[in-house]
Structure 1
Amino acid sequence: MIGPVRAGQPWPRYRYRWWDGVNAMVCQQAFRDADTAWSNWLSRSREGLGYPRPKQRGRCRDSFRMPGVGLVPENLRHIRIGGERRPGGQKAFRVRLHRPAYRLARLLQRGGEVQMVTISRSGPRWFAAFNVRLPATPAAVATRAQRERGTVGVDLGVEVISATSRPIQLQKVATQLVANPRHLANARRALAKWERRKARRWVKGRPAREQSRGWHEAKDHMAKPHAQIAAHRADTQHHLTKALATQFARAVIEDLQVKNMSKSAKGTLEEPGSMVRQKAGLNRALLDVSFGEIRRQLTYKTAWYGSTLSAVNPAYTSQTCHRCGHVDRKSRRTRSVFQCTACGAEVHADIGAAHNIAARDERTATPGG
């Protein structure tokens, strides 16, 4: 409730009563983030940066950032939020962790310093992500085993997440084709059930925070499988990207424009699109695989483990024979079978595309290639 400021009464505590339950550093960091967003938008420091959008309660991810969070060293099972607890000062809390923070403790022993922490909720659980600044270390160098294996071409797709030009060790199995677990598709039936219940319990005209208890119950039931899907997808991506970054000296991928690939096909009223539902399903599968996230992980993991990452033009990689170089779209007989119409070579279509990706990088790296 907002009212006039009384003499002797602190301004924020009187005007905003919810302030008493929030650590001051949370609000200060939120103001700094808002100032950064406005400054970036006004200066146009990044291309495509839009107008700042405020968070809306109930329709955004619950999270906050703050400095001054430390690990309690005696048992590694607690973090201290808000600095040291002192009477009459800022609020400080000790929060118990689900498991000991051994990794964070090792970083602090190496001279790391906690700069910021982001506390967020994913489904029914809360997570703390620490931003730790480490002293400068020498750049990583590829190992002998990585140099011996050389370059690997990676073709990302929907039927299989990745096809590689050389076998990779994944879960102690050597393979060139990594199957797509289809995490979202397997959970869609359960999600659709609670989505229908959530839609039936929505009262038109009310904001989300004023909806019924049944609507919030359905919303909480949907949050848990969504969090599980995100965790399983991240697990698959991290296993793949680490294998590529640690087992080879160079990884080559296609320079895919995911935003253009996942555009809607519905068109306009004057020119309606065709096969809209089929394209929507393809877009859903593309975003479930997350090509952009795989490339982002490869970018920083290759720097960690001494390897390098390269991106090549994806044009005609799946229509070119990796043996004779003949380009013909008819050579790809089915989704997985590629049989060259010129030399008759037969190979899995995605593996052939991975060979073309690696060969295209070698031609680009060679002077005059």
Structure 2
Amino acid sequence: MQRLQAFKYELMPNGEQQRNMRRYAGSCRFVCNKALALQKQRYDQGEKKLSYAGLCKQLTEWRNSTETAWLADAPVHPLQQTLKDLERAYTNFFAKRADFPRFKKKGLGDSFRYPDQKQIKLDQTNSRIFLPKLGWLRYRNSRDVLGEVRNACVSLSGGKWFVSIQTERKVERPVPKATSAIGIDMGIARFATMSDGTFLAPLNSFRKHEARLRRAQRAMSRKTKFSNNWKKSKARIQRIHARIGNARLDYLHKATTTISENQAMVCIEDLKVRNMSKSAAGSSGQPGKNVRAKSGLNKAILDQGWYEFGRQLEYKLAWNGGWLIAVPPQHTSRTCPCCGHVSTENRQSQASFACVACGYANHADVVGAINILARGHRVAACGESA
């Protein structure tokens, strides 16, 4: 079977290469915003949107124009990939899978991608990679790249440049080492509670750095905008955010790797994190209720990384021969696993569960995990949705 995998490394560019990477990322951002403005203009005038081929013709005109001749200094393939990403975003919007594309802002998600594998040269022995118009760049070689290189994406995060190398290779169809199945209930007080009674404590990466981040943001607000001190403060905030994200990602990778290697089937709740973390502020005509409490709950939910946890479990289980089953979350912590009685009175508090019909008692999160596993078995056996 074919396996696609990405290997990410920190780059160690010289001064000229750093300047060129910033220029190329800025060129991609400019092309994306200009193409999006053109599409919106055509939509407002009642005209049909341009296809990817039409946008590429516009890109050629922009590169040859005297006003934007500097676009010709950037490699053309990353610029075309930007247009391809915009076309995909439009398709997802009209298919109601995503919101309308937004204009890109400098400093947020600066990146560009090389899609042609023939233009990429990888020298793992000397820890360097060749990219068009950038030359040979050294990188921190933390592990070997496995498979054939397909593309490379250069990105800026926390003031550091990284390269993600996507590869493709053939592997034998995996056979699960374990034969057990487990249900997982996601929460805040307990990050993940297993159906066997064990649980993972939450990391709360953002909460640990929240006070430090608040001080840095206050210091930045007192600086003159775009001054050198303001730029230093902004870089300090970016480093804090990068540390928060890296700590959370490291925690999720370790947790999902352990679970995927020891379980053949994992059942989780199909949580709609975006809906669960919506603001309760409301509008001026209809103000929301308990806005401050809901805001704190939203912050705690987003600090856990539930979606990323499920995403990592899905592909890691597939790599190990297992599979992931997502079940509806309705009444998982209100249903008695012994007699099946469903009632809001069964859950007496956030942590305690006591069935009013048969008297079964346990931790509420453990009960939820047991019910999730039972639903997962029914889905795997006969395709039931609940």
Task: Calculate the TM-score normalised by the size of structure 1.
Answer: 0.79
Write the letter of the residue equivalent to 1:216.
Answer: K
Taking the aligned partners of 1:314 and 1:244, their CA distance within structure 2 comes to 21
1:337 CA drift (Å): 2.0
Taking the aligned partners of 1:119 and 1:40, their CA distance within structure 2 comes to 20
1:356 equivalent in structure 2: 371
1:307 CA drift (Å): 0.3
**8 Å CA contact retained: 2:151, 2:165:** yes
Residue 103 of structure 1 aligns to a residue whose secondary structure is coil
Taking the aligned partners of 1:272 and 1:305, their CA distance within structure 2 comes to 49
Residue 196 of structure 2 aligns to a residue whose secondary structure is strand
**8 Å CA contact retained: 1:312, 1:360:** yes
Percent of pairs identical after alignment?
33
Taking the aligned partners of 1:367 and 1:57, their CA distance within structure 2 comes to 50
Q: 1:200 and 2:248 equivalent?
A: no
2:184 equivalent in structure 1: 154
Higher helix content, 1 or 2 = 2
1:183 CA drift (Å): 0.4
Q: 1:38 and 2:87 equivalent?
A: yes
User: Aligned to 1:131, which of 154, 159, 166?
Assistant: 166
User: Aligned to 2:353, which of 313, 338, 355?
Assistant: 338
**8 Å CA contact retained: 2:333, 2:365:** yes
User: Aligned to 2:136, which of 77, 80, 94?
Assistant: 94
User: Gaps (5+ residues) in structure 2?
Assistant: 1-62
**8 Å CA contact retained: 2:352, 2:364:** yes
1:70 equivalent in structure 2: 121
User: Aligned to 1:28, which of 77, 80, 86?
Assistant: 77
2:150 equivalent in structure 1: 115
User: Aligned to 1:228, which of 205, 218, 243?
Assistant: 243
User: Aligned to 1:56, which of 105, 114, 135?
Assistant: 105
**8 Å CA contact retained: 2:89, 2:101:** no
1:178 equivalent in structure 2: 200
User: Aligned to 1:140, which of 151, 169, 174?
Assistant: 174
2:343 equivalent in structure 1: 328
Higher CA-based Rg: 1
Residue 139 of structure 1 aligns to a residue whose secondary structure is coil
Q: 1:33 to 1:19 in 2, by over 3 A?
A: closer
**8 Å CA contact retained: 2:182, 2:263:** yes
**8 Å CA contact retained: 2:93, 2:100:** no
Write the letter of the residue equivalent to 2:138.
Answer: R
1:246 equivalent in structure 2: 261
**8 Å CA contact retained: 2:124, 2:144:** no
User: Gaps (5+ residues) in structure 1?
Assistant: 1-10, 83-90, 168-175, 204-210
Write the letter of the residue equivalent to 1:30.
Answer: L
Q: 1:134 to 1:325 in 2, by over 3 A?
A: same
Taking the aligned partners of 1:131 and 1:256, their CA distance within structure 2 comes to 29
Report how many residues are paired.
Answer: 319
1:215 equivalent in structure 2: 230
Per-residue CA deviations over 1:34-65 (Å, capped at 9, x if unaligned) read 1442365269674334443332223x122221
2:4 equivalent in structure 1: none
Task: Calculate the TM-score normalised by the size of structure 2.
Answer: 0.76
**8 Å CA contact retained: 1:245, 1:305:** yes
Residue 136 of structure 2 aligns to a residue whose secondary structure is strand
Taking the aligned partners of 1:42 and 1:260, their CA distance within structure 2 comes to 22
Taking the aligned partners of 1:43 and 1:292, their CA distance within structure 2 comes to 19
**8 Å CA contact retained: 2:121, 2:129:** yes
Residue 238 of structure 1 aligns to a residue whose secondary structure is helix
Q: 1:339 to 1:54 in 2, by over 3 A?
A: same
1:274 equivalent in structure 2: 289
